[in-house]
């Protein structure tokens, strides 16, 4: 790479110091005075502090690609590296590391189970260094562009949350007959329309594609209502086992047990491409045997506010595992409409939710693009293409010479102090 005039490449240890935090992390408490950093997360606050001023903080294990910038008094855990006494513009170093640290260290990690980095990772890290005034201009520009991106991301996330609220409103209105001006005939227990629900297999499955594939909780994509055909597990089954666990088109698989009550009762419908698989024990098969109930009508109703209220209230447990059993799901109250009205309701739901899904897809793509755009901005910045160069700026080489001289003076003074102390 050809550096712009006045820039140099230099190791970060030439213009900052590197320390780690304390061994004991137990002093972290709520409502203290100082922010507390661990190797993977940020605790709220603590009572003691070892660091002060503008620093760059990097986990030594855990998410070792993460980079934090903090200006103030704080404490850090022993496996957290703190870059302090930064003699260039501190936030410039932070953005440089934010841009390149994860990539540079992707193949420079140690440990077989818990991955970690060493002090040598920093000693080998080089920084593209412009003149000090240009560092400040670059940081100002990045701050401005990132602020605009953050505002856009916040807006997109807000719209996405509003779409989720709208989806729930669509389902609520649909099963009240408001979308289609349909007349609710009565409410019936789900049991009237289905055979006895069937739990899945508890047989141990493996990733080897030997035997029959088994759908598990990760295969239930309740946002789309479809079964995912990836990340599959397999097991060997007897003829009787296959017959009892077989799937037919329009069966519905629901999650019956999970640590998150929000996932209990979530469902996907079986298509023709899914019928060659069986299903695991944390799933339950619902098979409609009454022609007066449309399968997709039931699928959508299971995601409606009324159904979710019943399922989550019934399944909620203090033991850590939330569960709804076959008898409880059979007692679910189902709003019953004429079959022709059910078809109209399903069509009305699909037409509205499909618009929401397309909007969500566009939002997700834009959010992903924003992350790429940040990297593009940083790449331009550290190639000298984000802001204009000023020929009157003092070259970075002069800045480093001055830093080196100041460090040498400090070391000489410390050496003299130690000598006087020995006399």
Assigned CATH topology for domain 186-332: Adenine-n6-DNA-methyltransferase TaqI; Chain A, domain 2 (3.90.220)
User: Residue 348: which residues within 8 A CB-CB, separation 6 or more?
Assistant: 174, 179, 180
pLDDT at position 62 is 74
Q: Is 302 exposed, middle or buried (0-12, 13-18, 19+ CB in 10 A)?
A: buried
Per residue in 7-39, pLDDT (tens digit) is 999 999 999 999 988 766 555 555 567 888 888
Tens of pLDDT along 48-94? Answer: 888 999 999 998 887 778 899 999 998 888 889 999 999 999 999 99
Please provide the distance, in angstroms rounded to a whole number, between the alpha carbons at the two ends of the chain: 53
- Determine the Cα–Cα distance for residues 373 and 350; give it in Å rounded to an integer: 34
CA distances in angstroms from 360 to 127, 151, 160, 163, 277, listed in the order given: 39, 18, 6, 8, 30
Give CA angle at 148 (158, 385), nearest 5°: 145
Q: What distance in Å separates the CA atoms of residue 406 and residue 400, rounded to the nearest whole number? A: 10
Domain covering 8-129+393-422, topology: Adenine-n6-DNA-methyltransferase TaqI; Chain A, domain 2 (3.90.220)
- Say how far apart CA 34 and CA 43 lie, in whole Å: 10
Domain with CATH 3.90.220.20 in the chain: 8-129+393-422, 186-332
Model pTM score: 0.79
Angle formed at CA 218 by CA 215 and CA 219, multiple of 5 degrees: 45
- Token pair listed for 56: 């760059």
Q: What distance in Å separates the CA atoms of residue 138 and residue 388, rounded to the nearest whole number?
A: 9
pLDDT value of residue 160: 95
What Cα–Cα distance (Å) separates residue 221 from each residue in 98, 278, 393?
34, 16, 57
pLDDT at 331 (0 to 100): 97
Q: In which element (H, E) is residue 213 found?
A: strand 212-215
Confidence of residue 388 (pLDDT cuts 50, 70, 90): very high
């Amino acid at each position: 790479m050809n550096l712009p005039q006045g820039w140099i490449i230099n190791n970060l240890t030439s213009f900052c110091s590197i320390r780690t935090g304390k061994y004991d992390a137990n002093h972290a408490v709520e409502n203290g005075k100082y922010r507390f950093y661990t190797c993977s997360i940020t605790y709220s606050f603590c009572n003691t502090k070892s660091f002060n001023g503008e620093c760059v903080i990097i986990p030594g294990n855990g998410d070792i690609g993460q980079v934090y910038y903090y200006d103030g008094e704080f404490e850090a855990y022993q496996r957290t590296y703190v870059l302090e006494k930064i003699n260039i513009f501190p936030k410039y170093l932070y953005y440089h590391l934010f841009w390149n640290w994860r990539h540079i260290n992707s193949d420079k990690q140690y440990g077989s189970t818990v991955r970690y980095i060493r002090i040598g990772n920093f000693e080998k890290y080089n920084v593209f260094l412009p003149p000090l005034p240009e560092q400040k201009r670059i940081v100002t520009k990045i701050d401005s562009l990132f602020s605009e991106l953050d505002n856009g991301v916040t807006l997109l996330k807000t719209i996405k949350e509003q779409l989720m609220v709208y989806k729930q409103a669509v389902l609520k209105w649909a099963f009240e007959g408001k979308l289609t001006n349909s007349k609710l005939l009565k409410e019936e227990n789900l049991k009237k329309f289905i055979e006895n629900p069937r739990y899945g297999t508890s047989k141990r499955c493996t990733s080897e594609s030997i035997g029959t594939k088994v759908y598990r909780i990760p295969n239930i994509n309740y946002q789309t209502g479809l079964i995912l055909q990836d990340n599959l597990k397999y097991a060997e089954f007897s003829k009787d086992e296959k017959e009892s666990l077989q799937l037919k088109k329009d069966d519905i698989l629901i999650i019956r047990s999970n640590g998150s009550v929000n996932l209990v009762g979530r469902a996907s419908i079986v298509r023709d491409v899914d019928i060659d698989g069986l299903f695991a024990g944390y799933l339950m098969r619902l098979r409609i045997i009454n022609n007066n109930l449309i399968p997709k009508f039931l699928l959508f109703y299971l995601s409606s506010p009324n159904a979710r209220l019943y399922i989550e209230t019934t399944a909620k447990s203090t033991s850590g595992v939330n569960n709804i059993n076959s008898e409880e799901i059979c007692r679910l109250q189902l709003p019953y409409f004429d079959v022709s009205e059910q078809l109209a309701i399903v069509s009305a739901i699909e037409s509205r939710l499909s618009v929401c899904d397309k909007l969500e897809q566009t939002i997700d793509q834009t959010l992903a693009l924003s992350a790429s755009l940040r990297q593009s901005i940083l790449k331009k910045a550290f190639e000298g293409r984000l802001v204009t160069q000023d020929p009157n700026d003092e070259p970075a080489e002069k800045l480093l010479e001055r830093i080196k001289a100041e460090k040498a003076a400090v070391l000489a003074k410390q050496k003299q102090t130690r000598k006087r102390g020995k006399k």
